[in-house]
């Protein structure tokens, strides 16, 4: 299901999801979550999807947070359910078989920062700003921000950002490891596309399993080293692995089929 709040564009198997609420600085509401959930569910095992870019409409914001109007009137149960749904959708993004890149073209605050952190790679424009300002509203992050921020930048700085609600700019985000590239404003999607085109030439099964292995490191229910030797066996026994080895020997481009 798509709606007017998330526009979808396709180019060479790479899908760009544009969160399209510029008048609200692309704030996350139920309709945005519906569209994100629908796209990632429908394409869960679709290897025709080579990669995904998520960005925001306009020049001011990637996603400047959640739609606070939807918080009004929520009790503890309703708040927990809202938070759980957001986390479930962001886990779908984090565990998607193809790489998902956040092209951050402005403010990425609260739920917006959490959305970027659920993506596998983050590209920021020079004017991007990141933050978790929930304490300003007497809240804590609800969509995984308290956990992923620590994973990406470490406990000390994450704690400071969570408690002070201070924003950081793109260059500091790069220094801390929150983003992997900083580019001129307006070039975020172009850089993300360049990265995804490169990855699209690799073995799709190997890409999928590599994403899962990285995630396994942070999953307390998994032994990442055990998962690695199992996935090594899985990939080396695949048709793609045989094609990749043969293409290497024959000095030609591999024709991977996700098998």
Helix axes 76-94 and 111-118, enclosed angle (nearest 10)? 30
Q: Output the pTM of the full model.
A: 0.94
Question: Cβ distance 16 to 53 under 8 Å?
Answer: yes
55 touches 188 (CB < 8 A): yes
In angstroms, the CA 47 to CA 204 distance is 7
Rounded Cα–Cα distance for residues 68 and 98 (Å): 31
Q: Per-residue b/e over 39-62, b at no fewer than 16 CB within 10 Å? A: bbeebeeebebbbbbbbbbbeebb
Residues involved in catalysis: 114, 134
Tokens of 94: 């984090």
Q: What is the pLDDT of residues 158-215, one digit of tens each?
A: 999 999 999 999 999 999 999 999 999 999 999 999 999 999 999 999 999 999 999 9
Q: How many Å from the N-terminal Cα to the C-terminal Cα in the chain?
A: 28
Distance from C-alpha of 166 to C-alpha of 155, rounded to nearest angstrom: 15
In eight-state DSSP terms, residue 28 is: B
Q: What is the pLDDT of residues 107-166, one digit of tens each?
A: 999 999 999 999 999 999 999 999 999 999 999 999 999 999 999 999 999 999 999 999
pLDDT above 70 (res 1): no
Chain centroid offset of residue 149 CA:
13
């Amino acid at each position: 299901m798509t709606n007017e709040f998330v526009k979808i564009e396709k180019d060479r198997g790479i899908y760009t999801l544009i969160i399209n609420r510029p008048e609200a600085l692309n704030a996350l509401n139920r309709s945005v979550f519906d569209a994100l959930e629908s796209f990632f569910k429908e394409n869960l095992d679709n290897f025709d999807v080579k990669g995904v870019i998520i960005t925001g409409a306009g020049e001011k914001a990637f996603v400047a947070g959640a739609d606070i109007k939807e918080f009004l009137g929520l009790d503890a149960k309703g708040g927990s359910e809202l938070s759980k749904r957001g986390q479930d959708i962001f886990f779908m993004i984090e565990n998607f078989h193809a790489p998902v890149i956040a092209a951050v073209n402005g403010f990425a605050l609260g739920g917006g920062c959490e959305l970027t952190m659920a993506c596998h790679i983050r590209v920021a424009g020079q004017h991007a700003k990141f933050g978790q300002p929930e304490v300003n509203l007497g809240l804590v992050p609800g969509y995984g921000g308290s956990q992923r921020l620590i994973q990406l930048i470490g406990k000390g700085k994450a704690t400071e950002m969570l408690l002070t609600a201070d924003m950081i700019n793109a260059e500091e985000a790069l220094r801390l490891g929150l983003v992997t590239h900083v580019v001129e404003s307006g070039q975020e999607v172009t850089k993300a596309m360049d990265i995804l085109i490169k990855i699209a030439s690799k073995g799709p099964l190997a890409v999928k399993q590599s994403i899962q292995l990285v995630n396994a490191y942070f999953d307390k229910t998994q032994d990442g080293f055990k998962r690695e030797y199992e996935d090594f066996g899985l990939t080396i026994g695949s048709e793609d692995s045989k094609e990749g080895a043969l293409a290497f020997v024959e000095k030609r481009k591999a024709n991977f089929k996700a098998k």
